[in-house]
Structure 1
Amino acid sequence: MRQPLGFEDVEHPEFVCRLHKSLYGLKQAPRAWNAKFNGYLPALGFCPSHSDPSLFVKKDGADVVILLLYVDDIIITGSSPSLIQLVIDYSSTVFDMKDMGTLTYFLGLQITYGSNGDLFVHQTKYCKDLLKRARIEACKPSVTPCKPHSSVLRNKGSLLTDPTQFHSIVGALQYLTFTRPDISFAVNSVCQFMQASTDVHMGLVKSILRYLHGTLEYGLTFTTGSTSLTSYCDTDWAGDLNSCRSTTGYVVFLGNNPISWSSCKQLSVSRSSTEAEYRALANCATDIAWTRHILQDLHVFIPEATTLYSDNLSALALSSNPVFHSLIKHLELDFHYIRERIQRRDLVVKYVQTEEQIADIFTKGLHSPLFVKHCHDLSLGLSPAAIEGG
């Protein structure tokens, strides 16, 4: 930055002008715009969500208007079209806004509407652009994104001379998991090799891309119906050969719709599979609590307790029976959060057969029949219109 021509200060040539407005493209511009817009929304009757700083809700009698803000991109929806239009009209008098109509594309997410009120959310264009960038458009498709029940050593293979492409593709794959939970575990695995990437690790990335090449049109179908919350939680004990740590995976459903999922490595080594599952239950319980808070901010109240399914009987007993305390007295206090939630009747933990454990897809590579089954359980696949059209 330098002083503009004609406004130089001869006594202080090293000084620069202090901006009263933020220039578009500078680092502080998004923050300034966000602060300006956030300060205006309360005047329209919007209340900010305590669980998500980008979410604002306006309650007007029986009607609700929801506004989601990402820098300068905005989504507005609600139960009253006239109230939504009123918010747009008022905002347009203060800000230079452009109404893009019905939401069909947002930050790489494509939205298709069904005749029965269903939503199909996918990232087909984003996926095609990624394959083009990786120069792998004409590859042979793969049935699964990674080999079943396999783990790769951190130092296996030769270091890449230029890991830039590896880092770029892996970063792009992370964004793709917003609508593709089927690749969450595989992407989480390759993310652990960012520091010292080898040709073997690049082969793992290409396996994911080959799988995406055969499932370009896949996305998530969201249907109307029940508002009950259910979740599935699973752990692959000591599955990481590099650190002997366990991998936690869980998914939370609102009705039949998956709305939150995760695949991540635990922060410490577990001494038994029961301990690993117990840690996973606690982590899943915190996500369920956050989901319930978001729904409360949206004025969606769920009176019944959330059902949490696990395929480990020992962990279920441990979460509700303090007689086993001596076996886990070395655990941090925050992992006993699950037991507190069960005692408060916010959660009900139940057993599910391993074959029906949907969260298994987030903890390890699976054989194609079971992998395809869990993809179907997650409402992941082609759009209903594409299926009907053959």
Structure 2
Amino acid sequence: MLHTKPISTPCIPNTRLSLHDGTKLPDPHAYRSLVGALHYLTFTRPDLSFVVHQVCQYMASPTSVHLMAAKRILRYLKGTLHLGISFKLGPLTLSAFTDADWAGDPDDRRSTSGLLVYLGPNPITWSAKKQLTVSRVLRKDLVVKFVSTLDQLANIFTKSLPPHRFLDLCSNLMATVRSPELEEGSAISPALVKQLHEDTRVGMMDCKKALSETGGDIVKAQEFLRKKGLASAEKKASRATAEGRIGSYFHDSRIGVLVEVNCETDFVSRGEFFTELVDDLAMQVAECP
């Protein structure tokens, strides 16, 4: 890696790592050592938080794809050794920014949250972590629906404070203590979502919504999906073929397949089926005179 070319980005945009990408490494020790060292760099390089968080998730069973992603971070570091955090004079105003993707992990459909806190013009804390799917309240019939940036910020700076100190800090910051927004309904088990997905072949996010609407009852969830008209990937593809919305074309002696799908369902979970479908259609086109 000492003589590799530097690169301008730490990861390829709009790509997601998965547990099943690539082949397993015979000796994961080198990968774990590399990722562990990269983790310490995030203390002074907030631009690495997201990508390092991604590669850290696969330390238990890393693959060749995960190793390539970690090596790409090294190439990025080689070209950005001059970057770092510089602290400047400025007003002591506290500001925070949060964001999250939506069901970004292709394996368990959890979202990843990002947080960046500034004191004046200087960043003082930052993080990127996967959201939990378990309930954050004691009652099993309540699920956290929304937590504001202010509440997250107060949680960071007041974890070790006794209650009276916490109230004093909120008063000095002129911040109102608010409870998280809650909604009725038990937290849906990922195993239950996977079971419904395997039974109906409907997208994972649609299955999760159906179970949430029906209180976790699989039979009622199947009926909910039927009434909503959410078909499986196989049914959609068969319907599209019958309606002539899947066709083949020739371009520069290359065989391609045009597929129109409904974007409301989960495309990632249908990847294997559509790959087989495209391969079969390509073979049919190749055999045509």
Structure 2 Cα separation of the partners of residues 137 and 253 of structure 1: 35
**Is 1:217–2:82 an aligned residue pair?**
yes
Residues 244 and 213 of structure 1: CA distance in aligned 2, closer, same or farther (over 3 Å)? same
Structure 1 Cα separation of the partners of residues 48 and 77 of structure 2: 9
Look up the match of 1:208.
73
Offset of 1:277 from its aligned partner?
8.1
Query: Which residue of 140, 144, 148 maps to 2:13?
Result: 148
**Is 1:286–2:155 an aligned residue pair?**
yes
Structure 1 Cα separation of the partners of residues 178 and 112 of structure 2: 23
* Code of the aligned partner of 1:231: A
Residues 321 and 292 of structure 1: CA distance in aligned 2, closer, same or farther (over 3 Å)? closer
Offset of 1:331 from its aligned partner?
7.8
Look up the match of 2:64.
199
* Code of the aligned partner of 1:264: K
Residues 291 and 256 of structure 1: CA distance in aligned 2, closer, same or farther (over 3 Å)? farther
Structure 1 Cα separation of the partners of residues 101 and 146 of structure 2: 12
Offset of 1:142 from its aligned partner?
1.3
Look up the match of 1:259.
124
Residues 292 and 306 of structure 1: CA distance in aligned 2, closer, same or farther (over 3 Å)? farther
Look up the match of 2:133.
268
* Code of the aligned partner of 1:286: N
- In the TM superposition, what whole-angstrom CA distance separates every residue of 1:95-137 from its partner, at most 9, and x where no partner exists? xxxxxxxxxxxxxxxxxxxxxxxxxxxxxxxxxxxxxxxxx12
Offset of 1:206 from its aligned partner?
0.8
Structure 1 Cα separation of the partners of residues 93 and 175 of structure 2: 7
- 5 Å matches for 1:7-156? 136-156=1-21
Offset of 1:302 from its aligned partner?
9.2
* Code of the aligned partner of 2:38: L
> Given that residues 248 and 280 in structure 1 are in contact (C-alpha distance below 8 angstroms), is that contact kept between their aligned partners in structure 2?
no
> Given that residues 228 and 302 in structure 1 are in contact (C-alpha distance below 8 angstroms), is that contact kept between their aligned partners in structure 2?
no
> Given that residues 235 and 248 in structure 1 are in contact (C-alpha distance below 8 angstroms), is that contact kept between their aligned partners in structure 2?
yes
Higher RCO (C-alpha 8 Å, min separation 6): 1
Structure 2 Cα separation of the partners of residues 151 and 165 of structure 1: 22
- Unaligned segments of structure 1, at least 5 residues: 1-135, 308-318, 333-390
Query: Which residue of 233, 238, 243 maps to 2:103?
Result: 238
**Is 1:303–2:160 an aligned residue pair?**
no
Q: Secondary structure at the match of 2:172?
A: coil
Structure 2 Cα separation of the partners of residues 289 and 138 of structure 1: 46
Larger mean Cα displacement after TM superposition, 281-290 or 138-147: 281-290
Structure 2 Cα separation of the partners of residues 156 and 197 of structure 1: 9
Offset of 1:144 from its aligned partner?
1.1
Offset of 1:303 from its aligned partner?
3.5
Q: Percent identity?
A: 41
- In the TM superposition, what whole-angstrom CA distance separates every residue of 1:322-374 from its partner, at most 9, and x where no partner exists? 9x75xx23489xxxxxxxxxxxxxxxxxxxxxxxxxxxxxxxxxxxxxxxxxx
| Runs (4+) off by over 6 Å | 319-322
Offset of 1:152 from its aligned partner?
1.6
Query: Which residue of 184, 194, 197 maps to 1:329?
Result: 184
Offset of 1:278 from its aligned partner?
2.4
Alpha-carbon RMSD across the aligned residues, in angstroms, is: 3.5
Look up the match of 2:279.
none
Look up the match of 2:55.
190
Offset of 1:174 from its aligned partner?
0.5
